[in-house]
Chains A and B, each alone.
Chain A
Amino acid sequence: MFKKLITILISMVLVLSLGSMVSAQETFTIGYQVQDLGNQYWITLADGVKDKAAEMDNVEVTVRDARTDPAVELSNVQDLITQGIDLLLLSPWDSNSGATVVEEANKAGIPVIVLDIGVSSGDIESFLVSNNYGGGQKAGEYMAELLEGEGQVGHIQCQPGYELLDARGNGFVDVVTEEGIEVVATQPGDSQRSKGMTVMQNMATANPDIDGVFCENDEMALGALEALNSSRMLDQVEVIGFDGTDEAIQAVKEGRMTATVAQQPYKMGQMGVELAVEVLNGNDIENEIQVPVQLITKENVDEFIE
């Protein structure tokens, strides 16, 4: 019995020392702090980060979730710093909570790359963002094409005041008004499905001849679909959303939603890790990097279904 024990212990020690010899090369430890893993968009982005890190054999990544609470976000980052990460990838709750986090990282001398949601201050290596304005423009161009240059449309905003989201609406409105289409109603839907539904109901009631609606995110667009469905106006109104979530893509496939603008969160996650390695290897990277977006319509929707 005793001999067996010694044998096992010695073999464990051998295996462990072998293991530590293998990992003697330099490993980069990256922390990714994301605002809310309860949201499909962030889950996909985090997957991009994790998968890319898994591909590269000298990168380890830890993903932490703020669960929409900026205090948890700050605590998580403090703990990541305590654990000794080499670089922080950050998708903050909002630009101000993000600034507080960046301040913390700056104090600890840890480089930061911000993904998708910008920060209002602080030193960062780079900011990766979807081309929101361009996406809005694509939506506008498609709407103008479908409406043949005339008609009435509604615009449901996410959170007026948030630059990145406003850019989507601005892109859309700039294009359609130039094409001669009238934007008859503009209302915030608080980025939520239920609010989007209510706002659409009101818009449709006030403008019974409405031909189309642009929602700054898919959640609200899906809500708008519900509203139009119950008022039996779905056939009359073209609904375009933004984000390219699985549900929205399904709705486009089924012909209920006209189109959506897909960001590429997975790609952004991958790019984030690639750029992180560049920074940690001592190379310079660009300050702001735009990640292209794609318009998903009935024509190309099958490419996007997994």
Chain B
Amino acid sequence: MDIKSLTKFNVREFSAVFALIALVILLSFISPHFLSFHNILNILVQVSTISVIAAGVTFVILTGGIDLSTGSMLGLCGVIAAGVFKATNSPILAVLTGVGLGAFLGLINGLVVTVGKVPSFVATLGMMTAARGLAFIYTKGTPISGFPSNFRFLGSGYIGNVPFPMIEAIIIYIIAAYILKRTPFGRYIYGIGSNEIATKLSGIKTNKYKLSAFIISGLLTGFAAIMFIGRINSGHPLAGDGYELDAIAAVVIGGTSLSGGKGTIIGTFIGALIMGVIRNGLNLLNVDTYWQGVVLGVVIVIAVLMDKKSGDSEEVVK
């Protein structure tokens, strides 16, 4: 495994890295607290949940699809895992349930798209609504709360001074980068995104890979759900509301094209970091919460504009 080739940047996400560095420098001048060890750690923990979801969504977007259901899946997988823990007191069973359910929901998404031939936007929109509803039905609207530290470790544990969620996110990204860059699986994912018909005609079973992308998205979301519960100590049916858009924003800011076929997983991580840094910086500068939304919206649009400028073909929302 060659670390260098895994992290080789192309022009698209070079601009993302550059933006991140510029932001960090700017903020460290403006706010005295920004560059403290404590604050940097905070940022890394704060982005860990979204970055794990975004890693999974990257796979789907690379194939030219989109997954709008991740936020709701986070909620549903979270409450079911919480319920399983309360019933069995076994963190392992709860984690397996959460992750397994996520993969299963991803499977459904994938089947609706590949076999049902429903556009991914519509298919995952349906899952988004249904999953949220199921989360409310299961919990009757009331959160499931109060977990011991062994279950919460995945979301709020520390190894020495290092927050465990950070380590998990990094491991997941390394694995994802390897799959995307160094395996045939990864190459087919890119191929399907750039030119699905050509890929199919060369004998690749494109449906299989598109399906897998959705499963990965669901699986990682299920894992993120466990991390989330660990962090806030509660399985809430409303958890993750809006996170699907944050995840997609991270992917887009990181340089991945919404039409598929272009982009890297490292870019997604940078994108998630940029969003986290902006949020944190604006908080430290006492900027009103709603202005933060405006700033992030502008950043996303700029990111897409730069994406177009780097010689991309026209956007096709599938």
Contacts and interface: CB of A to CB of B under 8 A. Distances in A.
Nearest to B39: A82
Contacts of A37: 289
Contact of B232 (A68, A83, A100, A161): A100
Interface stretch (A10-18, A70-78, A124-132, A225-233): A70-78
A292 interface: no
B217 interface: no
Contacts of B242: 69
A99 B146 CA distance: 9
A97 interface: yes
Contacts of B33: 82-84
A159 interface: yes
A138 interface: no
B82 to A, nearest CB: 11
A96 B289 contact: no
Contact of A75 (B42, B143, B233): B42
Contact of A97 (B142, B232, B284): B232
B257 interface: no
Interface in B51-109: none
A67 interface: yes
Contact of B231 (A67, A71, A76): A71
A75 B283 contact: yes
Nearest to B228: A71
B32 to A, nearest CB: 9
Interface in A93-109: 94-97, 99-100
A82 B231 contact: no
B49 interface: yes
A64 interface: yes
A79 interface: yes
Nearest to A100: B233
Interface in A10-65: 37, 62, 64-65
B289 A70 contact: no
B126 interface: no
Contacts of B39: 79, 82
Nearest to A96: B145
B192 to A, nearest CB: 33
A-side interface size class: 20 to 34
B238 interface: yes
B241 interface: yes
A109 to B, nearest CB: 14
Nearest to B147: A96
A71 B234 contact: no
Interface string B237-274: 01101100000000000000000000000000000000
Nearest to A191: B141
B238 A68 contact: yes
B280 interface: yes
Interface in B6-24: none
Contacts of A99: 233
B238 to A, nearest CB: 7
B204 to A, nearest CB: 39
A150 interface: no
A97 B233 contact: yes
Contacts of A79: 39, 42, 280, 283-284
Contacts of A159: 141-142
Given A83-B286, A96-B146, A159-B142, 8 more contacts: A64-B289, A68-B238, A75-B42, A79-B284, A82-B36, A94-B234, A100-B233, A162-B142
CB-CB nearest 5 A-B residue pairs: A96-B145, A79-B283, A65-B289, A70-B232, A96-B234
